[in-house]
Structure 1
């Protein structure tokens, strides 16, 4: 018979194997369709409604079960993506993560929400959560203040982008606190240089506080340290100007009393040189 060589036998074998494979697949599909564990109808029925999951998440927050609350909100995001409840759950999950101390996760979740829904009414809250998460990471003044800078910028976004939101007042308060922390770090470094008689480096730090962070609690000491630094350098006019600006803004301050006494040891007294950078900066201070 024609076509009964080795090639013919191979072709017949391949066809037989393919037919066997198709038959096996059909049996497998039939088995899958009868398997209740993956039945599509049963699977759909097992999914909880979005509103139910959301309310359960809120209830768990009220009960203090934050981990379970997070699971509920994540289930909404997975099972009901792009729904109204999915948007709300995304923000609430960011809040829960923040409450749990999972700051970077909270930041990531809030940013994802803002990227997906920049015009949503809850976008202001999401941005506020970012600021809170950074603010919570601010360390002591002796350590790097990068989190304070990030917190300040994040909260400024709340103020600038959502000026009518209910979070603006607290955002502004936290901006002031973060600025004070950053200024405090500058003061710490300035004092370090001053103790080592590196006066130029010290002046640069104290000047940064006066010019960049004028409305912080640190500016009072910064002016006094400028008096001390300039006096040690022999730049008496600058020392007198710093003392005069300090006295004008903080007349009852112990820092002013100490600065006045220091000048008196050299037969000097506070006197403002209006051409000095200190005089110009003084017009923006708290007590100006």
Structure 2
């Protein structure tokens, strides 16, 4: 009986407890105001009822819900109504964010314009680095695969470099550097693919130019060892082409072959010394052994540096390859996450420069066995002592001071004394004087120095219509007054005076 009563008491107590619990569960807790998640709003935690703050929060809520046009309208209203608000910088930046989140080519272009305006108006604000970072993100989101248009990748690289150089103390620098490594991975992949394409078609200068640009500009590229290995193979291909080329002398062929082999070995050496933990190191060692060249040993610092780079790279998985087929942008999981990216592009290596270098090597190889060209020897001057290696200048004969320069001055005659000879200051003998018959040397010039008469031009023939001087008759005034005699017209017949015939002769009229 006691046990039964105890069991009933326990059941009753349990039912009471359950009923109280259910009653409490049915009671509704007072509804609390839902706290919106404004993680993108750095001013959400600020408890303020100011109208500008209310408009800003309202715009942030609309942006989170995807109502970007409503958000922009509220932000523009706040900026126009409260130009001196303490939230104007965040509102101006949020306008660009609304365009950026909306997406699309036109919206992203508008977002870039808003961010650039923000940097112009607030260059010293901490948010300026964020605006510049988002300008780079605009082009980063529009990047294509390495085998397609690369203009967006180049613009993204330029904007990220600008952000790192302009705002070196910003907390966004690590993220900007990683984005820059990703972009440079895409650009390096593009150049490497083009270089390998030229190498497969034995266009070695073009292949070397592209691959050398990759090695010099993007040292953190995940396939830099492959690019260096391809450079060595291109030089080895040029060495083989020289070895089998016809019409080249044997000595020249050997010199060129040795030069190209040295360049190939230098590329293989760099693979081992710079990227000792890369996958293609063993290939470089094998090539050096096949060329009978020494294999270098990398330093401990190079091993540690490359090991950190290799460990920071993520391998490409099946999901990455599947997404690469679907998505628009490139896959950058292989980009390293350590090391300093290149902030300034070095000078690019161009194919014409490589071709000119090859021509210089050919010229040097052809001229290696020839003697050096001798330089022209300049003679010594008239007042300089003669030297054994240079001839002296021949003396010049000057004409006598008082003569014409023709003939020879007699210093001394056999039958005369020296005083009879004219000195250099005396005048020469006259032209018409007789020559000395006892002179040892006779003058060379002509004896007759009379000049021929000057030739005059022939007179022009007289014209028939011209009047000779002195023959013209002078007409005086008296002669002009004389009348000319009348002509005798008796023998002429006319209508007024006509010879009469027959009986008419008798008529006097």
Query: Same fold judged by TM-score > 0.5?
Result: yes
> In structure 2, what is the Cα distance between the partners aligned to 1:196 and 1:153?
33
1:126-160 CA deviation, whole Å, 9 max, x = no partner?
A: 11111111211221111232222222222222222
Q: Which residue of 2 aligns with 1:251?
A: 276
Q: Following TM superposition, by how much is the alpha carbon of 1:174 offset from its aligned partner in structure 2, in angstroms?
A: 0.9
Structure 1: tracts of 5 or more residues without a match = 1-47, 273-282
Bigger mean CA deviation after superposition, 181-190 or 157-166:
157-166
**Which of 167, 171, 180 matches 2:172?**
167
> In structure 2, what is the Cα distance between the partners aligned to 1:151 and 1:77?
30
Q: Stretches of 4+ moved more than 6 A in 1?
A: none
- Counterparts in 2 of 1:236 and 1:109: CA distance versus 1, 3 Å: same
Confirm or deny that 1:104 pairs with 2:109.
yes
> In structure 2, what is the Cα distance between the partners aligned to 1:76 and 1:188?
52
> In structure 2, what is the Cα distance between the partners aligned to 1:115 and 1:270?
58
Q: Following TM superposition, by how much is the alpha carbon of 1:105 offset from its aligned partner in structure 2, in angstroms?
A: 1.5
**Which of 187, 208, 214 matches 2:213?**
208
> In structure 1, what is the Cα distance between the partners aligned to 2:261 and 2:65?
65
1:190-241 CA deviation, whole Å, 9 max, x = no partner?
A: 1121122111000001110111111222322110111111111112111111
> In structure 2, what is the Cα distance between the partners aligned to 1:58 and 1:202?
53
Q: Following TM superposition, by how much is the alpha carbon of 1:267 offset from its aligned partner in structure 2, in angstroms?
A: 4.0
Could you tell me the TM-score, scaled by structure 1's length? 0.71
Q: Which residue of 2 aligns with 1:91?
A: 93
Give the paired residue count: 229
Q: Say what the alpha-carbon RMSD is for the aligned residues.
A: 2.6
**What secondary structure, in the 3-state scheme, does the structure 1 residue paired with 2:268 have?**
helix
Q: Following TM superposition, by how much is the alpha carbon of 1:262 offset from its aligned partner in structure 2, in angstroms?
A: 4.4
Bigger mean CA deviation after superposition, 93-102 or 126-135:
93-102
Q: Following TM superposition, by how much is the alpha carbon of 1:287 offset from its aligned partner in structure 2, in angstroms?
A: 3.8
> In structure 1, what is the Cα distance between the partners aligned to 2:285 and 2:83?
67
Q: Following TM superposition, by how much is the alpha carbon of 1:72 offset from its aligned partner in structure 2, in angstroms?
A: 2.3
> In structure 2, what is the Cα distance between the partners aligned to 1:82 and 1:216?
48
* Matching of residues 41-60 of structure 1 within 5 Å: 49-60=51-62
1:21-80 CA deviation, whole Å, 9 max, x = no partner?
A: xxxxxxxxxxxxxxxxxxxxxxxxxxx943322111111233343343233223334444
Q: Which residue of 2 aligns with 1:65?
A: 67
CA contact (8 A) 1:240 1:268 kept: no
Confirm or deny that 1:242 pairs with 2:267.
yes
Q: Which residue of 2 aligns with 1:136?
A: 141
1:140-184 CA deviation, whole Å, 9 max, x = no partner?
A: 111232222222222222222222222111011111111222111
CA contact (8 A) 2:277 2:306 kept: no
